Amino acid sequence: MPRVAFLGLGAIGTPMARHLARPDFDLAVWNRTAARAEAFAAAHDARAVTTPAEAARDRDVVVTCLPVSRDVESLLAGPDGLLATMPAGAVLVDCTSGDAATSRRIAAPLAERGIGFLDAPVSGGVSGAEQGTLTVMIGGDEATLARVRPVIECFGKKIVHCGAVGAGDALKAVNNALLAMHIWGTAEGLVALEKAGVKAEVALDVINTSSGRSNASMNLFPERVVTRAFPRTFRLALLDKDVGIAAELAREQRITAPLLQLTSELFRMAHHELGEEADHVEAARVVERLGGAIIGGGDAAGSAST
Ligand code: NDP
């Protein structure tokens, strides 16, 4: 029976961990706010523990899903840390959308102890996590991936080996930078059209059968912006972090990437304006404020007219 630990029961970590709470797995869960781990264990086939060290004891696979790589790095050291108990031969699978430099720093002390490391960020959102259909972008050794693939397959449908440690992080950051560009660009276009007298429903209907379409125009704007629903599924603060990682990647590689740098600035501004708990699609609200029109009509406070 695979012995697995899951650390980080946030918006996406919780539905991912649910797929590991199964009778043929021995699952331990840890969360910084202990009440979340206790609630998870009460509702699922899992055991809540109070420290990362306790979570990692006797585990074959430890999965982490925290906001940033530095948060994962901070779980390693000390008497309560993962390194205190994680056995040689085990693998740390980090599903955080992280950064390559910190992932390499995490992998080094693990390797010294004979512990494997994979950066394994995911895409597909909370709904993909709930359905167990996430795409998982792997950085690290292919043989290590082969050993833990059955565990990752519990929540991942498409599992892609991208390269050495950090390659998964880099690809995930670029994907999310494209998401950010689509959100911002779609918002700018729809605000301009709104002011020109073209309704968002009409604009999206045309764009979504034309070459300008994207996940933003096909799903996010119709379901979340035009409706003013703005559900909180993926924090804007985290998308700001992702675009920052992509912009840094471009700088490290010394490529000219003005659009990545600008998108990073725009999302930092939106994050600053809307705060830590805003959803990523709410960046459209900043574009609306700057443009002086609400997508889908409605008053300045953002309530739809219909
Ligand atoms: P949330 O903000 O919802 O949850 C964060 C989790 O990390 C919580 O369990 C929180 O614990 C814990 N945490 C925060 N800071 C620390 C810390 N310093 N030390 C230990 N634990 C900490 O984030 P998400 O679940 O949305 O995202 C997690 C990762 O997955 C991020 O890297 C994100 O970019 C990525 N991701 C998210 C997606 C989404 O749709 N939400 C989609 C794809 C990737 P506590 O309960 O104590 O606050």
User: Please, what are the domains in the chain?
Assistant: 3-163 (3.40.50.720), 170-305 (1.10.1040.10)
143 CB-near residues (< 8 Å, 6+ apart) = none
- From the CA of 17, how far away is ligand 1's center (Å)? 13
Catalytic residue numbers, as ranges: 172
- Residues 240 and 267: their CA atoms lie apart, in Å, by 5
Q: Say how many residues make up the chain.
A: 306
102 CB less than 6 Å from ligand 1? no
Residue 299: per-residue pLDDT: 58
CA dihedral 107, 110, 116, 121 (to 10 degrees): -40
- From the CA of 172, how far away is ligand 1's center (Å)? 15
Would residue 153 be called left, alpha or beta, if left means φ above 0 and alpha means ψ between -120 and 50 degrees? Answer: alpha
Per-position pLDDT tens, the chain of length 306:
899 999 999 999 999 999 999 999 999 999 999 999 999 999 999 999 999 999 999 999 999 999 999 999 999 999 999 999 999 999 999 999 999 999 999 999 999 999 999 999 999 999 999 999 999 999 999 999 999 999 999 999 999 999 999 999 999 999 999 999 999 999 999 999 999 999 999 999 999 999 999 999 999 999 999 999 999 999 999 999 999 999 999 999 999 999 999 999 999 999 999 999 999 999 999 999 999 999 999 754 544 433
Distances (CA, A) of 144 to 43, 111, 195: 31, 12, 54
Residue 305: per-residue pLDDT: 38
Contact predicate 284/229, CB 8 Å = no
Residue 272 burial by Cβ neighbours in a 10 Å radius (0-12, 13-18, 19+): exposed
156 CB less than 6 Å from ligand 1? no
DSSP 228: -
33 CB less than 6 Å from ligand 1? yes
Helix, strand, or coil (residue 141): coil
How are beta strands 122-123 and 47-48 bridged, if at all?
Answer: unpaired
Nearest atom, ligand 1, residue 10 CA: 4
- From the CA of 60, how far away is ligand 1's center (Å)? 23
Residue 298: per-residue pLDDT: 72
Which residue among 12, 14, 219 has the greatest number of ligand 1 atoms within 8 angstroms of its CB, and so is best to mutate?
12
Tokens of 186: 């779609």
